[in-house]
Amino acid sequence: MGSTPAGIAFALFALLNSADVGSGILGVLTLCKFREA
């Protein structure tokens, strides 16, 4: 898993199941990655 949308989505999903706070932080990072790609 790298910077691919699938990898990011999986990481976000995993964090969402882990903790809402973590998913919120990762959500911002995910948005930045998607805008960069």
> What is the model's pTM?
0.36
* Structural domain boundaries, residue 13: 5-36
Number of domains in the chain: 1
pLDDT tens per residue, range 15-35 = 777 666 666 777 788 887 877
Residues of 1-37 as b/e, b for ≥16 C-beta within 10 angstroms? eeeeeeebeeebeebeeeeeeebeebeeebeeeeeee
**Which pLDDT score, from 0 to 100, does residue 23 have?**
67
**Which pLDDT score, from 0 to 100, does residue 24 have?**
76
**Which pLDDT score, from 0 to 100, does residue 18 have?**
65
